[in-house]
Structure 1
Amino acid sequence: MSTSGVTEADRRPASLYEEAEAARGRGDYRAGVELARRAAEFSAERGDVAGQASALRLAANQLLRVGEQEAAITACTQAAGLFESIGDERGICETLTVQAIPFNDLGLHEEALDALDRARRIAQRLDDRALLYWVHNRTGVVHAAMGDLAASNECLRHALAMVDPGDDEARFCVLNNLGDNAVFRIPQLRELGRADEAEELLETALGHVRTALELAQAANHPYRQSIVLDNFGMLMAHRGDYGEAFTLVENSRMIALAHGYRSLESAALQHQAQIRLLRGDCAIAVLGLLEALERVTEAKEKPMTMAIHLQLSQAYERIGDFKAALTHYRSYHALEREAHNDVAAVRARMMVHLFELDNARLEADNARLESELHRMRSAELEQQALTDALTGLANRRAADQRLPEMAALADATGRPFCLAIADVDHFKLVNDRYGHAAGDDVLRRIGALLREHVRGIDLVARLGGEEFLIAFEGVDLPEAAHLAEKLRLVVAGHDWSALQPGLAVTVSIGVAEHDHGDPALLLPRADARLYAAKRAGRDRVTASD
């Protein structure tokens, strides 16, 4: 066949993921599924998209080993969507190669090949040899399931040429799959009269499965050991060493029984009966096939049930019980028709489910977009609420918020902090002589001049009307007075005639220093000095009482 105890503690997602991967590594797939699902949930709660996607893919990679193929497909679809949302092409590619396996197991070969074709294009674009290996390996598995062993072997040979010698899992998979193909191809070659080719393939395949068995044993991985022992046994049967073949398959069955790998156990029973058929012990083989049939029927493993009915038909025909042979042949064909219907039903069911997943993802995306738009709009409204519409400077509300913060910082650091209030001289005359539009232009230009000629850490705000505030961080009173004087000169020296012929504009400025007392007293002190500057003749800076 081809390769395809959760503790209760509040662990971090990375730790849960590592435990899930460790469970997969030792073949404890049911525990691995639960751990991976918990890792996905924890990652989702923390907003870790990459972690959630990786955990879902890991869960899928183990769900398919315990017969939960549809759940595996769903998990892969969710993982691929998450990887796509963060632009992780490698993650998408790895997920698609996993998803191809349950598609193939359910008979959805077209979907499996489509997934692998998408994965191949990504792997080629990334020029990633390891990804291309998995694409070729799994494409070979799908072609084998479709009965095209020639195409399968070609893909697997490509995979073998690409495999990293240090990647024991990858080496095991391709070697075991080549051995599995040989189990079916050898009888075909013999029937075609190509005995020499069959013998050459047999010896090559035996070399492959021996190496694969060594790798599985070195990894202490029971699932892989069970799979490869079964293939090893069937190859030995084709060699005519029936005793050794039966022992190898029995070893496979015992490992499967011990670890709850029901499908592998059923396959071993079927293959033991097949070995007896090859040896000519048809009556005993029938008993073994009937036992295997009972198990696979109970487990609803339809492909294996079909194969056993066909083998029973052939076995009964060989011992002369034609009535029983016909009964099992009819059962085989009835199941074959059901299988076609089942594939259609699964395809329809998966389409509905995947459509629902797409809708859910779209709804989640829309919700996120709406939330982001709401956040942006709220931020925009907040910004508007703190911004003077005419000049684009901070407004009185923003200044009322920032000044206590700046005073508190000065208190905490012991650094100086000064405040200046600037007022446009004779602004009413500007409005009366040139109009309110010209007055607005003057205010806008003064706001721009102030902003251009202070440091980035300083606050410039329009308090209302023709009054502006400048807060200087880390500057003492003499330095603040000097900076205010520079601002006064900038305004007075500006070419105002560009706005209106004959226009001249000046400002008066009052400056006060925070004395680490009540910050609410700072603004009135600066305001008082502003009016002192006005009374002294305007177009000047006053920094003392």
Structure 2
Amino acid sequence: MEEPLSACEKITQLCEQVKGLLAHDSQQALCLAQQALALAQQIEAPRRLLLQALICRGGAQRFCGDLDASFEDYSEVLAQCRDQGSELDDLHASALLGLGIVYRNRADYRQALDCYQQGLERARRSGAKRIESTLLNGLGNVHSVLGSHTEAVGYYLQALTLAREQADPQAELVMLGNLGFLFEEMGDFEQALTYYEQALVQSDRVKDRYFRVSILSNKCSSLRQLGRFEQALSAGLQAHREALESGNEMRRAPTLQVLAALYKDIGEYEQAEQRIQEAIQIYKVVGNLRHLPEALRLQGGLASLRGEHALAEAAFLAALERTQTEGDPKEEAAAHQALAEHFESRGELGKALPHFKAYHALEQRLRREQVQLVLASRLTDRENEVARKDAELQRLRNGELAELVAALERANQQKEVLLVQLSQQAIEDPLTGLYNRRYLEEYLPRELQFAQRQKQVLALALADLDNFKQINDHFSHEVGDQVLKIVSQIFRKHSRKSDVVIRYGGEELLLVMPETDSTQGRDVCERIRRAVESHPWKHFHPDLHVTLSMGLSDSRTRSPRRLLQHADKMLYVAKNAGKNQVAA
């Protein structure tokens, strides 16, 4: 006969049960978390166990949608951890993780980033690798929402590496799914599908049906974006079938929403309407309102297609009201955009204008906040590094190592100078002073996504100096460098303030032209091409003549990779057609 569990063992068991139930039955999870905490308080459990129960309840409150109660639990843990030095660093990190998620759900991304960064420092100090991996994932999630895709990929890959090092297949599954969703957000649907397939294989290994349903839904979405509707329908129906089998209504509603969007695209409006109504009803019943605004906008779009304008307007207004209640500026912007387009399509421009203004104001605010938060995140990383160095120097000062301290301080000063130089070099080409390819990798996906949200076209031109090898061979590499500098200056002079010029590699330059289609872009490119051709190159050498060829593409339905590939293809056409011309 097994001995009965002690009270402390019972608390630990209840907390483990809560973790297993969170995603499937959040109300039951909260009930068990309440029991664990009440028992811990009743027996005056050790502080560590009491705080674990409090963190457990905070997580359950969050899953049930009570962010205020969750905030209070996590804040209480932080207050008690602050007086304990580094002894409770792992619990301190867990509470900061939970608080960061609360802030993220409230769309307070600055506070979320701050919590995740602080938590990461404590997790690393305590050696809590699993918490560290989850915090890295949290940082990736926030940067993904902000559109800072380079940072998001970096954090996700760090978390994925850590999960594999720790042989944590569940964390690995989450990272693969998040990477897939990030690439879907970036418009690279083929790469997204690659990660989704890996995640599905991993979900079978760990037997995680909950996350598997999400992956199948996201796979359906990517396939829909690629126009592969038959495969998308297969994935979407499978996701819904598995959600039904699990009995989890919270998981079933998003699958209905994905299917509704797919049916709308293929013109099966009755099926779409049936699915979205059912999804909205589930969201309201289970209290999961985060996805409700998007679902209402989809319902409004379907009503508009049927000519039921009053119903469409009511759905769009309900979506706007929900976003204003939740305080999510991204969703609020989308709701204003939907209303503006609805009124514009009916010729009610007076009603459309305030929503257009609100939409553009929110978009500008989001872009400003994105830049500020990315810079703040990088500054926090820098400050943490400085703090670690200062702590080490202080330790040395307290010993008999003054000479070594002085040497380290000198090295630190040199390193500061070097870091400033490196930060500039990280995004700037030293020869031409143009932005470099690394800057492009961060800038282009963000600018392209912004253009797509604004329903604008972005043009991109890839330029290559004709016969540049012969210039280097016949007139010297110094002359070749001077040619590159002058051509870069011509690009700056003859492009517009909104355009961005990048040294793509060697003698290749890239010109990104926001709010520009290929016809307008050709005019800019022709102006630059003529300026290069007519420049007085003979000042360098009587026989020197410089021309360039350019390939042009625009952003309609293209991801960053396809945009660059098409520009490269057009450049090849220009070269084959005799050089010194623009091909589009």
Task: Classify the TM-score, shorter chain.
Answer: 0.5 to 0.7
Q: Which amino acid in the other structure matches residue 250 of structure 1?
A: I
Identity %: 22
Match of 1:138 in 2: 178
Is 1:207 paired with 2:234? no
Contact 2:77 2:95 in 1 (8 A): yes
Q: Which amino acid in the other structure matches residue 294 of structure 2?
A: A
Q: 1:251 to 1:360 in 2, by over 3 A?
A: farther
Q: Which amino acid in the other structure matches residue 284 of structure 2?
A: M
Match of 1:425 in 2: none
Contact 1:307 1:332 in 2 (8 A): yes
Q: Which amino acid in the other structure matches residue 347 of structure 1?
A: V
SS in 1 for 2:100: helix
Per-residue CA deviation, residues 177-230 of structure 1 (Å, 9 max, x unaligned), is 4424634752x45xxxx5xx3133123212213423554x44x7x5x5654554
Contact 1:229 1:248 in 2 (8 A): yes
Give the count of matched residue pairs: 354
Match of 1:245 in 2: 275
SS in 1 for 2:291: helix
Per-residue CA deviation, residues 492-519 of structure 1 (Å, 9 max, x unaligned), is xxxxxxxxxxxxxxxxxxxxxxxxxxxx
**Rg larger in structure:** 1
Contact 1:30 1:66 in 2 (8 A): no
Match of 2:104 in 1: 64
Q: Which amino acid in the other structure matches residue 55 of structure 2?
A: Y
Shift in Å at residue 279 of structure 1?
A: 3.8
Contact 1:235 1:245 in 2 (8 A): no
* 1:205-354 to 2 correspondences below 5 Å: 205-212=236-243, 214-215=245-246, 217-218=247-248, 224=251, 227-228=254-255, 230-235=257-262, 237-238=264-265, 239-240=268-269, 241-255=271-285, 258=287, 261=289, 263-296=290-323, 300-321=327-348, 332-333=359-360, 335-353=362-380
CA distance in 2, matches of 1:29, 1:290: 24
Q: Which amino acid in the other structure matches residue 52 of structure 2?
A: A
CA distance in 2, matches of 1:294, 1:211: 33
Shift in Å at residue 323 of structure 1?
A: 6.4
Q: Which amino acid in the other structure matches residue 146 of structure 1?
A: M
Match of 2:514 in 1: none
Match of 1:153 in 2: 193
Q: Gaps (5+ residues) in structure 2?
A: 1-22, 24-29, 401-584
Contact 2:106 2:327 in 1 (8 A): no
Q: 1:85 to 1:174 in 2, by over 3 A?
A: same
Match of 1:172 in 2: 210
Shift in Å at residue 291 of structure 1?
A: 3.8
Shift in Å at residue 96 of structure 1?
A: 0.9
Shift in Å at residue 351 of structure 1?
A: 3.9
CA distance in 2, matches of 1:225, 1:363: 52
Q: Which amino acid in the other structure matches residue 317 of structure 2?
A: L
* 1:525-536 to 2 correspondences below 5 Å: none
CA distance in 2, matches of 1:347, 1:357: 15
Contact 1:70 1:102 in 2 (8 A): no
Match of 2:53 in 1: 15
* 1:71-86 to 2 correspondences below 5 Å: 71-86=111-126
Match of 1:112 in 2: 152
CA distance in 1, matches of 2:198, 2:73: 34
Structure 1 stretch displaced more, 333-342 or 146-155: 333-342
Q: Which amino acid in the other structure matches residue 331 of structure 2?
A: M
Q: 1:331 to 1:74 in 2, by over 3 A?
A: closer
CA distance in 1, matches of 2:66, 2:244: 19
CA distance in 1, matches of 2:232, 2:273: 21
CA distance in 1, matches of 2:63, 2:326: 26
SS in 1 for 2:177: helix
Shift in Å at residue 115 of structure 1?
A: 0.6
Match of 1:427 in 2: none
Q: 1:246 to 1:14 in 2, by over 3 A?
A: closer
Shift in Å at residue 342 of structure 1?
A: 2.7
Q: Gaps (5+ residues) in structure 1?
A: 375-545
CA distance in 2, matches of 1:268, 1:167: 29
Is 1:98 paired with 2:129? no
CA distance in 2, matches of 1:101, 1:311: 25
CA distance in 1, matches of 2:59, 2:204: 20
CA distance in 1, matches of 2:61, 2:326: 24
Shift in Å at residue 244 of structure 1?
A: 1.6
Contact 1:93 1:123 in 2 (8 A): yes
CA distance in 1, matches of 2:398, 2:238: 59
Contact 1:233 1:249 in 2 (8 A): no
Q: Which amino acid in the other structure matches residue 15 of structure 1?
A: A
Per-residue CA deviation, residues 374-427 of structure 1 (Å, 9 max, x unaligned), is 9xxxxxxxxxxxxxxxxxxxxxxxxxxxxxxxxxxxxxxxxxxxxxxxxxxxxx
RMSD of aligned Cα (Å): 3.9
Contact 1:43 1:52 in 2 (8 A): yes
Q: 1:184 to 1:307 in 2, by over 3 A?
A: farther
Per-residue CA deviation, residues 465-508 of structure 1 (Å, 9 max, x unaligned), is xxxxxxxxxxxxxxxxxxxxxxxxxxxxxxxxxxxxxxxxxxxx
Q: 1:288 to 1:40 in 2, by over 3 A?
A: same
CA distance in 2, matches of 1:66, 1:225: 23
Match of 2:229 in 1: 198
Contact 1:57 1:79 in 2 (8 A): yes
CA distance in 1, matches of 2:245, 2:62: 19
Per-residue CA deviation, residues 240-273 of structure 1 (Å, 9 max, x unaligned), is 31442242132144147x46x4x43333332321
TM (normalized to structure 1)? Answer: 0.55
Q: 1:108 to 1:132 in 2, by over 3 A?
A: same
Contact 1:229 1:251 in 2 (8 A): no
Q: Which amino acid in the other structure matches residue 57 of structure 2?
A: E
CA distance in 1, matches of 2:357, 2:124: 48
Contact 1:229 1:252 in 2 (8 A): no
TM (normalized to structure 2)? Answer: 0.51
